[in-house]
Structure 1
Amino acid sequence: MNQPQHILIRLPNWLGDMVMSTAFVKAVAQQYPNATIDVIAKKGIDFLLEYFPKHHQRFIFNKEEYAGLTGAYKFGKQIRQQKKYDIFFCLPDSISSAVMAKAVNAKKRVGYKKELRSVLLTNAYAKKKGLHRVEEYADLLNQFINVEIKTPAVELKNSPTERKNAVIVNINSEASSRRLPAKKAVSIINTLRKNITEEIILVGSNKEIAFVDEVFNVLENKNNITNQAGKTNLNQLLTLLGSCNVMLTTDSGPAHVANALGTHTIVLFGAGNENNTAPYNKINRSIIRLGQLACEPCVNNICKVYGTPECLVRLDENVITQTVINVLKNKTND
């Protein structure tokens, strides 16, 4: 095909995945420097676009307003009426995103094979196993252009600011198999407080307020511990994540955000495979996994073996605390 003029990218639906797709957006821009690149983002995480690599037009997809496959088709058709696209890159694996691509009617509709998607896409490829999610996205472009490209860095734009030597703590996750049980979270924060003097800042979304409050209320020593759960909007949370030197977190969307903002991110892994979904920038991340159970790592959203995720319960508070201390020392010496 001729050099494309207009490219549309359907971004992933989850916060962490959307962060990881920044490398793909940059790679497309590098391959097609003269094309306009537009994006589709799900309502609710579209705030991330303010921190995204350079792009042109934004389409915000509200799944409640455009429900089901008919809604996805209607949304895509509305885009088609506004602009003609040469390429539609479909990053989610869902059938609805492929239906949206078909409705947009781009000349080339590019995505991975799954279920009935192949009949809706012009270029459907097999997903390679064992790749990190960032590299999975990049490999979609590799297969389309038939050229092996170097995967760009995963980055969110961060306004220059003097970082403070504080520790952000995120005990939450969408999946219970990745969320710290309350008793374990209390134990970790208590141990942390006994061993460091730096400010500890607890974070959480509005729906996580009750859980974070439950943990905060029974801490042995609340001195210099701030509970910010539900007290920051999304833009304020990003500012906070980008202004502190260290984040101690579960495997979750905020872990990817902090890592992409350049904050050293210490991730406690329960369910989930760090080889596929850990924050991508190795230079400012530390991974802590138990690695003693036959079921590790699993990808279940609930712990089917123990009920409560023992892979998190059995983590050593002293190992976690020492990792935080080491990172804080390194940041002080930078």
Structure 2
Amino acid sequence: MKILVIGPSWVGDMMMSQSLYRTLRARYPQAVIDVMAPAWCRPLLSRMPEVHEAIPMPLGHGALAIGERRRLGISLRERRYDRAFVLPNSLKSALVPWFANIPQRTGWRGEMRYGLLNDVRTLDKQAWPLMVERYVALAFDKGVMQSARDLPQPLLWPQLQVSEAEKRQTRATFSLSDARPLIGFCPGAEFGPAKRWPHYHYASLAESLIGEGFQVALFGSAKDREAGDQICSALPREQQSWCHNLAGDTELEQAVILIASCQAVVTNDSGLMHVAAALDRPLVALYGPSSPDFTPPLSHKARVIRLISGYHRVRKGDAEEGYHQSLIDIQPEKVLAELHELMQGEEQ
């Protein structure tokens, strides 16, 4: 069986989609699974052994471009896919498999995609509370799984593969000393400071960890560079050489490898949180207005800290420097205690 998956366009969603690929491979061991996704996803997809080929989606997020999607779909006809799974809910995401004449095209109903999809599932959000469950459910025939309780347990959570040689080489590339264990911080968030743990809390935590003999690396995109600089500059001068602000300096693939070499990771609700979970790193995930009820870190080594309940649609923080009060209220001492517990568990 040859399968085409139209993948998500966000890091966290792409990571969770691996549970579908793993489930498909478990059900159809001989299946060839290709994933069409933005080119930046290739470093993630290349580390998923279930994925045969990552096919770049040349169109930007939100672009309709029917003509280009038609040309893209027609170019895929010679591959003779048997099935397609469309993970985004948009109408336009279902166009390429339709133009490619793939016989069975599966996905949740989304934007009224009848015709484009011929295996349409109707979503009951209460029956399928987690995004990963919604992805995995598509691997089974329509009607077989009535709710998340029917899915085979345990779910096959995401797992990325990184070699020890890659870890050594990439640490050397960024001059990360082998003299101290590495703790990773992911202080960025897609929607700005409202979903970020305050930089001064990160700095306080870094000061404690460096004092204990660790070094700290900060990961994120170029727009997280300033937040990383704030964290490093808030440290005592004698500790600053052990705080490495790599935000914007690493390609995604390098960040994945370095996170894999961390002894533990502290992160906001972000795409890199899901990467760290898939790398099986001890992980403390800090939530504020966003909720872990839909997209939690999928790892038995993850601890979620959140002081409020429910979902709060916030794009701008309600307190100092744009931070959300619920994140300000999470104290560094609490995070440090959780880290110590997780790392002790690794040593046993």
Which amino acid in 2 is paired with 1:142? F
Q: Distance in 1 between the 2:234 and 2:331 partners? A: 20
Q: Give the CA deviation at 1:289.
A: 0.7
What is the percentage of aligned positions where both structures have the same residue?
A: 26
Gaps of 5+ in 2: 169-179
Counterpart contact for 1:165–1:328, Cα < 8 Å: no
Which amino acid in 1 is paired with 2:72? F
Please state whether the residue corresponding to 2:333 is helix, strand or coil. helix
Provide the residue aligned with 1:273 in structure 2: 291
Q: Give the CA deviation at 1:111.
A: 0.4
Aligned residue among 116, 123, 129 for 1:127 = 123
Is 1:142 the equivalent of 2:155?
A: no
Counterpart contact for 2:189–2:268, Cα < 8 Å: yes
Provide the residue aligned with 1:41 in structure 2: 37
Counterpart contact for 2:301–2:342, Cα < 8 Å: no
Aligned residue among 115, 136, 154 for 2:158 = 154
Equivalent residue pairs, number: 322
Which amino acid in 1 is paired with 2:310? P
- Segment drifting more, 234-243 vs 144-153: 144-153
Which amino acid in 1 is paired with 2:339? V
Q: Give the CA deviation at 1:308.
A: 3.3
Mark the CA change 1:277 to 1:189 in structure 2 (over 3 Å): closer, same or farther.
same
Aligned residue among 219, 225, 237 for 2:255 = 237
Q: Distance in 2 between the 1:87 and 1:153 partners? A: 22
Q: Give the CA deviation at 1:157.
A: 1.5
Q: Give the CA deviation at 1:78.
A: 2.4
Aligned residue among 270, 275, 281 for 1:252 = 270
Gaps of 5+ in 1: none
RMSD over aligned CA atoms reads 2.6
- TM score, norm. by length of structure 2: 0.83
Mark the CA change 1:278 to 1:317 in structure 2 (over 3 Å): closer, same or farther.
same
Q: Give the CA deviation at 1:133.
A: 1.6
Aligned residue among 64, 70, 74 for 2:71 = 74
Counterpart contact for 1:248–1:266, Cα < 8 Å: yes
Please state whether the residue corresponding to 2:107 is helix, strand or coil. strand
Aligned residue among 188, 194, 208 for 1:172 = 188
Q: Distance in 2 between the 1:90 and 1:303 partners? A: 32
Q: Distance in 1 between the 2:250 and 2:140 partners? A: 39
Which amino acid in 2 is paired with 1:75? L
Mark the CA change 1:322 to 1:112 in structure 2 (over 3 Å): closer, same or farther.
same
Q: Give the CA deviation at 1:179.
A: 2.1
Provide the residue aligned with 1:111 in structure 2: 107
Is 1:186 the equivalent of 2:203?
A: yes
Counterpart contact for 1:142–1:149, Cα < 8 Å: no
Counterpart contact for 1:168–1:246, Cα < 8 Å: yes
- 1:141-198 Cα distance to aligned partner (Å, 9 max, x none): 235372654232321113247997421111111122322343443344345545x321
